[in-house]
Amino acid sequence: METLRPRRSCLAVPGSSTKMITKAQGLPADQVFLDLEDAVAPDAKEGARANIVDALKTGDWGGKTRVVRVNDATTQWAYRDVVSVVEGAGQNLDCIMLPKVQTAEQMHWLDLTLTQIEKAMGFEIGRIGIEAQIETAQGLINVNDIAFASDRIETIIFGPADFMASINMPGLVVGGLNPDYPGDPYHYTLMQILMAARARGVQAIDGPYLQIRDADGFRAVAKRSQALGFDGKWVLHPGQIDVANEVYSPEQDDYDHAELILDAYEHYTTVEKLGAVMLGDEMIDEASRKMATVIASKGRAAGLQRTSKFEPPAKG
């Protein structure tokens, strides 16, 4: 899968804090999302919208994916969030994130609203993407329909805190394991989100780990979703960014090997007209090419450089 907008590290920033918004622009996160939902008190939401519009229009985001998380579609703030932000700074915005998505109809509403604003403002139709956050039992049950509800959807995101509350899961350590459960209590949920995202051809993003000073705990949690195939994870503190970028990027040796497989397969199938061949002691075929494409695409998106080159064996 080609990762056009890498999201290994997705930094959450309260829209009400101009200081944190300014600081975020210089951090090495792949994506910054400016939050109008949980991180902003009800009385501060209008001012936060203005802060966000100004930051999107005047800030230097250095190629980061720029996202705004609005309030969920059942609240009195959602429509005004979308209208204010997109009308005010739509040309400097990559995606709108909709939290607590429960049905495909909520995706339809956001898609239609964005289209109406784009037409009214003369923006390119369909350029602004949607990120759908799954945070409730109903949202998880409907995640397949949600994933296919709009052509704008770019990511499906797991929101662990609200999800824990939604299913009455005990515990207050968001994103961590429960020592009383013999396994990963989030495994089923993560796999459901991952399957929906991959079927739709979009990215799957893991949610936050709230113990922001616990770098080892963050790394352990990130490695679990990365091992499943997730593309990235939310970060709530600058200290989590480098860990996320490292964990969700391929190891150099794996990246080099993937590129060698792609080169070798291309050579043998197009030049020598062979299907299954050997690369050293390893047999490679079409399935190998598909697996290598995943690793190579992620490595390229992460900016890795090759340290080896495929050389066809001399004939003789």
Given a cut of 90, is residue 309 above it in pLDDT?
no
Q: Look at residues 247, 277, 292 and tell me which one is the last residue of a structural domain.
A: 247
Residue 316 lies in a domain: no
Q: Where are the beta strands (DSSP E) in 15-104?
A: 31-35, 65-69, 95-98
- Bridge partners (DSSP) of residue 134 are 158
- Mean pLDDT, rounded, for 3-24: 90
Q: What gap in Å lies between CA 189 and CA 230, rounded to an integer?
A: 12
| 1 or 20, which is more confident | 20
Q: Show which of 232, 247, 262 is a domain's final residue.
A: 247
Whether residue 279 is found in the same domain as residue 151: no
The pTM assigned to this predicted structure is: 0.90
Domain membership of residue 307 (yes or no) is no
Reported in sequence order, the residue ranges of 21-128 that DSSP labels E, i.e. its strands, are 31-35, 65-69, 95-98
Are 91 and 188 found together in one domain? yes
- Considering the domain architecture, whether residues 209 and 95 belong to the same structural domain is answered as yes
Q: Which tokens belong to 154?
A: 């770019």
Closest CA to 37 of 62, 19, 16: 16
In sequence order, the 6+-apart residues with CB closer than 8 A to the CB of 65 are 5, 7, 30, 31, 32, 94, 95
Residue 308 lies in a domain: no
Token pair listed for 83: 């209208």
**What is the DSSP track for 182-231?**
SS-TTHHHHHHHHHHHHHHT-EEEE---S-TT-HHHHHHHHHHHHHHT--
pLDDT digits (tens, 9 = 90+) for 15-57: 999 999 999 999 999 999 999 999 999 999 999 999 999 999 9
Let me know whether 173 and 296 are in one domain. no
Q: What percent of the chain has pLDDT over 70?
A: 97
Q: How would residue 98 be classed by pLDDT, with cut points 50, 70 and 90? A: very high
- Could you say which of 231, 247, 263 is where a domain stops? 247
Q: Is 208 within 8 Å of 160 (Cβ atoms)?
A: yes
Query: Would you call 266 helix, strand, or coil by DSSP?
Result: helix
115 and 27 within one domain: yes
Whether 3 has a pLDDT exceeding 50, the answer reads no
Residue 185 lies in a domain: yes
Chain mean pLDDT for the chain: 92
| Residue 128 clears pLDDT 60, i.e. is over it | yes
Q: To the nearest 10°, the Cα dihedral for 150, 156, 162, 165? A: 100
Q: Do residues 144 and 42 both lie within one domain?
A: yes
In angstroms, the CA 296 to CA 175 distance is 29
Residue 273 has what pLDDT?
74
pLDDT at 299 over 70: yes
Residue 165 shares a structural domain with residue 104: yes
**Domain membership flag for residue 82:** yes
Contact predicate 94/65, CB 8 Å: yes
Q: Residue 270, CB half-sphere, CA atoms under 13 Å: how many?
A: 7
Q: How confident is the model at residue 95 (pLDDT cuts 50, 70, 90)?
A: very high
Do 25 and 114 lie in one domain? The reply is yes
pLDDT above 90 (res 228): yes
Note whether residue 310 is domain-resident: no
CA distances from 90 to 20, 86, 174 (A): 21, 4, 33
The whole-number pLDDT of residue 35 equals 97
**Count of domains for the chain:** 2
Determine the pLDDT at residue 315. 67
> Are 263 and 205 in the same domain?
no
Mean pLDDT throughout 239-246?
Answer: 96
With left for phi above 0 and alpha for psi between -120 and 50, is residue 175 left, alpha or beta? left
Do 191 and 87 lie in one domain? The reply is yes
CATH code, 97:
3.20.20.60
> 256 and 243, same structural domain?
no
Dig out the tokens for 179 from the structure: 């020592």
Q: Give the integer Cα–Cα distance in Å for 31 and 96.
A: 12
Q: Which residue has the higher pLDDT, 154 or 266?
A: 154
SS3 sequence of 250-265:
CCHHHHHHHHHHHHHH
Q: Is residue 314 part of a domain?
A: no
Provide the total of helices (H) and of strands (E) in the chain, helices listed first.
Answer: 12, 10
- Is 1 contained in some domain? no
171: left (phi over 0), alpha (psi -120 to 50) or beta: left
What is the Cα–Cα distance from 254 to 244, expressed in whole angstroms?
18
Same domain, 226 and 102: yes
Question: Which residue range forms the structural domain that includes residue 111?
Answer: 9-247
